[in-house]
Amino acid sequence: METGSPYLNLLKNRIMLERVPFTDRDSRLILFRADERSLWVGLAEYEIDPELSPAITNWRFTDEAGEPCACAWTTYPHQILNQTPGGTFRITFVDPETLLVALPAGRSGLILHTPMEQGQTDRRGGILSRSSTSPCSLVYTTNATLLCNRVTELTNGQYEIRLLFEAEEDAALLLNITRTPGFNRRVLPASQALQAAEQRWHDWFAGVPEVAEQYRTRYYYAWWVMRVNLLYPYAHPIREGMVPSKMGYVGVWHWDSYFHALALRHRDMRLAQDQFRIMLDYQLPDGLIPDIVHDEGILAHTTEIVEADITKPPLTAWAAWKLYELDGDREFLNEMYDPIIRFQHWWFTRSDPDGNGLCEYLHPWSSGLDNNPLWDQGLPVETPDLNAYLCLQYDYLARIAEVLERPDEAEQWRQKAGELAQRMIELRWDEEAGLFRAAHDGQLLAVRTPFNLFPLITGRMPAAIADRLVETLTDERQFWGHHPVPTVAFDDPAFNPLSMWRGPVWLNVNYLLIDGLFRAGYPEQARELRRRTLELALAADDFYEYYHPLTGEKPPRATHAFGWSSALFIDLALAASNELS
């Protein structure tokens, strides 16, 4: 069955219900296939495993006798089709909390198991709820004739809802799963709800720029990921943020939000700008921008591993400038300027414990590189990437100051960038190794990572040092393998291709290096790394959180449908397409 939209047809069966859920913009509901005959429905929430606290643990479809039947699943962005011997059920979203099931004409049924604590039926359906832990309600309503509507308490503490319908054309069942008392029991004609959902998705895809044919299918899937990962945090219902994934990363992460904005700027500039605002709304008085804005508030301090304030790498000015390059919105830069200065000040006043002018990560989470071997010798750690980011931020503050007609401040920021670049060279450049060294407690660290090369991205390194850094980056034994760039050098003793930041390839690291290679005057190497990065993403069956650096496969613990992998694929594919055209 084809739809009326070429974009939706392109993504037929692209949503793999075993690993990637059927969901929608701003919805907490995530639908997975449990087995060949059933689904389960979870809630995407901060620090809660949806499998441990599902809204529906088992959802089966039955024949006219009420017996579970065989199912054949087809997915599109706007609907799931389930073909059974008795007819086709179609599932779509009516609103973020409400699913509509279009019922086949004639007699059919459903069986739902749900971990609610109490329930009652009425002539159109029923209401079940729980209040002891994670208050939630499951409200079901139909405009079909109910031949059976039975709610039974099971021995495992759940309830079973058993329904049998006599349905006419366009009949539907509404499933409203909500944490609020405002229930939706208005059943639309099924065809109307399906058409509205199809139109919403078509309009989303139709609003993005065209891309070269070789990227097209994966490109529109990336835009599907971008839309479904949009949410309003419970504690911050004012701005719509993008979460990294509805499977395990349900919050707006600081530096993720900047990478997400790089793609969103091509579709909805206001939404892209809001990825900055949602973080800056919670900037602390001392200038720190929190690590996460989540359902319960913010994460800006922790006692895990070590006690410290936590944030993420200082890329705000760099990313804000990329939005400005596209639309020239001077007022947005004006809005960002003072908060960025306060954040820059925080790093140099609160995160340079030895006072040598080079900042240090006080906690691994502030780096974004949670388990990288840079932290194996203890904390804090002074790293080349952090000081490269701060140098870059000074230079982009200078650009912003010029747009805002503040030339004296622009000159001041450029001077600080130059001084910081020189300080890195004087204290941490290792000519023999061809990289900058990280340090802990005054001792240089032997581990080799791409982050030891990041002063290159500032564009401020002398030619001899820049050439040497590029030579190290493009060394096949270290970083330039078939799938560059590993997060630990291939030939380093700490290299582990399966362990998060200890070897796997991350698209944001590659993106920063591609961007930096262009800035530093190495366009050939930049394009080659872009080509290989796009090839890596195209060869995989999904956008992974990170990739095996030898095979390109998904390491066991990496998440599917990952936000910045999708976002950066979009931006890189558009850049490559523009060059082709």
Q: What's the pLDDT score for residue 53?
A: 85
Q: Where are the alpha helices (DSSP H) in 304-449?
A: 316-327, 330-350, 364-367, 384-403, 407-428
Residue with tokens 């804005």: 293
Q: Which of 187, 184, 140 is nearest to 162 (CA)?
A: 140
Q: Which of 448, 455, 457, 463 is nearest to 421 (CA)?
A: 455
Q: What's the pLDDT score for residue 83?
A: 97
Q: How far apart are CA 310 and CA 286, in angstroms?
A: 13
Q: What's the pLDDT score for residue 134?
A: 79
Q: What's the pLDDT score for residue 131?
A: 86
Number of Cβ within a 10 Å radius of residue 421: 23
CATH of 205-580, one of 3.40.50.11810, 1.25.40.20, 3.30.70.260, 1.50.10.10: 1.50.10.10
Cα-based angle 132, 138, 139 (whole degrees, multiple of 5): 135
CATH of 6-195, one of 2.70.98.50, 3.40.50.150, 1.10.4080.10, 3.30.70.360: 2.70.98.50
Under 8 Å between Cβ of 79 and 180: no
Q: Which of 69, 13, 59, 21 is nearest to 38 (CA)?
A: 59
Asked, colleague to colleague, whether 6-195 and 205-580 share their fold, the answer is no
Q: Where are the alpha helices (DSSP H) in 207-315?
A: 216-228, 254-264, 269-280
CA dihedral of residues 213, 218, 222, 227 (deg, nearest 10)? 80
Q: What's the pLDDT score for residue 559?
A: 97
Q: What's the pLDDT score for residue 451?
A: 98
Domain boundaries, the chain: 6-195, 205-580
* Structure tokens, 369: 């590189």
The continuous run of DSSP H or E covering 119 comes out as: strand 118-122
Residue-level pLDDT, tens digit, the chain, 581 residues: 788 999 999 999 999 999 999 999 999 999 999 999 999 999 999 999 999 889 999 999 999 999 999 999 999 999 999 999 999 999 999 999 999 999 999 999 999 999 999 999 999 999 999 987 778 999 999 999 999 999 999 999 899 999 999 999 999 999 999 998 889 999 999 999 999 999 999 999 999 999 999 999 999 999 999 999 999 999 989 999 999 999 989 999 999 999 999 999 999 999 999 999 999 999 999 999 999 999 999 999 999 999 999 999 999 999 999 999 999 999 999 999 999 999 999 999 999 999 999 999 999 999 999 999 999 999 999 999 999 999 999 999 999 999 999 999 999 999 999 999 999 999 999 999 999 999 999 999 999 999 999 999 999 999 999 999 999 999 999 999 999 999 999 999 999 999 999 999 999 999 999 999 999 999 999 999 999 999 999 999 999 999 999 999 999 999 999 999 999 999 999 999 999 98
**pTM confidence score:** 0.97
Strand partners, 48: 45
